[in-house]
Structure 1
Amino acid sequence: MSDRSDQPDRLNASADPEGTPRVERRRWPRDTDQTNDAVFSAPPALTPLRFSTAQFEPAEQFSIWRSHLEPIVEVNLPDGVAPQNGFAAEHTAWNLGKMLLVRQRTDAYRYARSAEKLRSSSIDHWYIGIPHRGNAWTEVDGHVVESRRDTVTFRSLGHPYRGRATESEVTLLYMPYDLFAGNAGMLVAANNSVFTGNYATLLIDYIGSVETRLPTLVASDLVKIVYTIRDMLVTCLAEAAANRQNGVNPLTLSAMERVHHYIHSNLGSQDLNPDSISRAMGISRTRLYQLFEASGGVLNYIRRKRLQDAYAALSDPANNQRVLDIAEEAGFDVAANFTRAFIHEFRLSPSDVRKAATGQLPAVTHIDQSPTPTFEKWLRELGR
């Protein structure tokens, strides 16, 4: 008869009602999953940014909603609706680092991102909309698409558009240009597209699953989620680009993709200008100007991108560069010219951004000068 006294791990420490120890049937002891324990013990990474008009007087609600969306679009009430009637709007944003996820509920309204707006706004992100309730109709270059439940709408903030929405609830994802830098031409082809079918349904389901878990996500989750959504979206975009070129010649798409990539790779070069770009890309200056006509011109595009990089550098508390050095990297030899361009672009000075980043708030507080996050600040810093 074998002696079992040397196998205490096979006996359960508890006893049944008759006092007989239970035999543990597991051959090997259970291992503790320390990796999962570490993940579950990590604190949540995200804090939502909540906005609602409910706390304001009805007559003020729409103007406050208009101010909230001012960085992106100009909004107006439908014909026959007066501001005094009130405007219900809820807007909750989550910052995933390289992606902003927004859940929005609103009354009906009209919206437009005009060519004039583009000239005054440096924001050129891509975004998708997933309606849960209500409909929207958006026009780009004379082409109108309808957004409705169980569809995914894709659009660029770097191109003019206008439209109207009924009382609705929608999930919006804002994504920086750089997240898709290698697919610029394909994205242009799919601008103002509506996706349906299996790929779109899978994307909707995945984003819905992410939404339900936003309060519990930890930092290590975010990058994986962002790139999973990006890859799923690229699959939808590839299908849309194959089926419809949005009236854009494939050769134009190829040139646009190459030029965008060249500009982003050479933003720090003092020699970046229409002549150098035309020579490097093997295209005429006239052709180059045509490619960037919707963006306010190639020089304006370069200037805005450099100012965005300067804003990101000034907002980084770990960046010890002088403002003058950052200005020179942005292509400005004269500090005063840099300051004027910076204020025109962001409505605050470079020194104010630097003070806010280091906790030294200026005497006069602007909406973007506070260290408290705002939707506008998140949009401007997205992906930086």
Structure 2
Amino acid sequence: MIWNRAGPTSEQPAFVERRRWPRISEAPLCGNATDLPELVSLPFSTSNEAPGRRFSAWKERMAPLIDACLPESSRVDDCFAANQTVWNLEGALLIQQETSAFSYERSPDKVRFSAIDHWQITFLRTGKTWTSVNGHVVENEPGMMEIRALGCPFYGRTISAQSVTLILPCDLFADYGGLPGASNNIVLGGTRVKLLADYIAFLEANLNRLTRDDLRGVRNQLQEMIFHSVAPLVDSHANGDRSSEIGLMTKARRFIQSNLGSADLTPETLSRELAISRTRLYELFQASGGVLNYIRRRRLLAARAALADVSNGQRIADIASDLGFESAANFSRAFTHEFGYSPSDVRRHTGECKIDHLPRMAEASTFGDWLNTLGI
């Protein structure tokens, strides 16, 4: 209540804002995506096929990656249902999928000339799968994360299921020295896996709004979240509760990956870099078959990637020398023993598959074309 000479009044004095500096309105910082290229997707549905042709269409769709078969209780003329959308993350694929029950196999013949190792990471929304690698069977179910190396043969089956899958090159994790070797054909759970699943669900909800300019950040986020979801669980399970050693393993993998071509990449050098004893170093790499075996395999994987690169005109002997092999003959023997085919076989196969160049993702029209852009 304010008093004046005429008596009380309910009027309030006008508010006067006093500023030392004038107010300047700033627009929010956000990109205008209207003119930016959108992500490319590749949809597929068996509903577009005649009932008796639906499973055949699905089998043809997946043939570049796996061989698909109907369960024994099903017939070809049954109405097999499958819906799939593949999204191009340019260097990785995100696959949304819903299918009826079927069996699958990635045979040694399919693996034989895979140019680059890739990881397949699957989150089930519904259903269950059972997959065997070297006689070891894992069961995946909703709420879990399944990870498998496409460079190894496997077979399994799924009941009717809905899933989202990432196919990622192993080289995406090169800065970390790669995912642990024991990551193949395992199922993981826990808080970190839940956070990763939530991030992927966020990506799915926004795929139609993302542009190609967003992809670098998306891949970097996936790389970091996947590595820090997988490595601690795998390392602790394989070697006991040794959280202090996870940092050592990460540092060791990075150092090895950064020095694959150095003749000085030896256990002694690595021990000095990590400031640990030779005995401790061998304990760290026991699950990988020893430090020398790990270094040798990383060099051979790098050599295989270089040989399969259609733009790499280096001689096989030069690639071997650059990666620390003493002679082309020693390299060829080690390569053939590791992969079951020779370096020249890779070059020959790459040359036969090359027409002018590998298809760019924007030019690719089939699932197989898109897998080819990843070197699978």
**Same fold by TM-score greater than 0.5:** yes
Structure 2 counterpart of 1:279, which letter?
E
Task: Tell me which amino acid in the other structure corresponds to 2:44.
Answer: F
Residues 18-29 of structure 1: matches in 2 within 5 Å? 28-29=22-23
Query: Is 1:32 aligned with 2:32?
Result: no
Partner residue of 2:368?
A: 376
* 1:179 alignment partner in structure 2: 172
Unpaired segments of 5 or more residues in structure 1?
Answer: 1-19, 308-337, 343-348, 358-367
Unaligned 5+ runs, structure 2? 1-12, 240-285
C-alpha deviation, 1:171, in angstroms: 0.2
| CA deviation after TM superposition for structure 1 residue 198, in Å | 1.5
Instruction: Indicate conservation of the 8 Å contact 1:186/1:241, yes or no.
Output: no
State yes or no: 1:291 paired with 2:291: no
SS at match of 2:103: strand
Shift of 1:235: 1.3
TM-score, normalized by length of structure 2?
A: 0.71
One-letter amino acid matched to 2:365? P
Asked if 1:270 corresponds to 2:262, the answer is: no
Distance 1:350 1:281, change over 3 A: closer
Gap change, CA 1:41 and 1:86, over 3 Å in 2: closer
Partner residue of 1:12?
none
- Are 2:63 and 1:63 aligned? no
Give TM-score scaled by structure 1 length.
0.70
Q: Who is 1:202 aligned against?
A: 195
1:32 maps to amino acid = E
Give the aligned partner of residue 80 of structure 1.
73
Q: Deviations over 1:146-173 (max 9, x none)?
A: 1111111111211101000110000011
Greater Cα offset, 230-239 or 73-82: 230-239
Q: CA deviation at 1:302?
A: 5.7
- Please state how far the C-alpha of 1:33 moved relative to its aligned partner: 3.0
Q: Secondary structure in 2 aligned to 1:91?
A: strand
1:279 match: secondary structure: coil
SS at match of 2:208: helix
Q: 1:41/1:203 Cα in 2 relative to 1: closer, same or farther (>3 Å)?
A: same
Please name the residue that 2:221 is paired with: 228
Any conservation in 1 of the 2:121–2:146 contact (CA below 8 Å)? yes
More deviation, 59-68/152-161: 152-161
Matched residue SS, 2:109: helix
Report the equivalent of 2:42. 49
* Secondary structure class of the residue paired with 1:67: helix
CA distance in 2, matches of 1:139, 1:191: 11
Instruction: Give 1:92 deviation, angstroms.
Output: 0.5
Kindly state the Cα deviation for residue 285 of structure 1 after the two structures are TM-superposed: 6.2
- Cα deviation, 1:76-104, whole Å, max 9, x if unaligned, reads 00112001112100001111112111100
Question: 1:290: how far off?
Answer: 3.5
Task: Say whether residues 1:249 and 2:286 are aligned partners.
Answer: no
Query: How many residues of Structure 1 are paired with residues of Structure 2 in the alignment?
Result: 310
Alignment RMSD = 3.6
Query: Contact 1:72–1:123 at 8 Å: present in 2 too?
Result: no
SS of the aligned residue for 1:145 comes to: strand
- Residues 1:143 and 1:88: Cα distance change in structure 2 (over 3 Å): same
CA distance in 2: counterparts of 1:167 and 1:146, whole angstroms: 14
1:101 aligns with 2:94: yes
Q: CA deviation at 1:350?
A: 1.1
Q: Please list the CA deviations of residues 332-378 of structure 1 after superposition, one character each: whole Å capped at 9, or x if unmatched.
A: xxxxxx4xx22xxxxxx615x69x87xxxxxxxxxx9x946322211
Partner in structure 1 of residue 154 of structure 2? 161
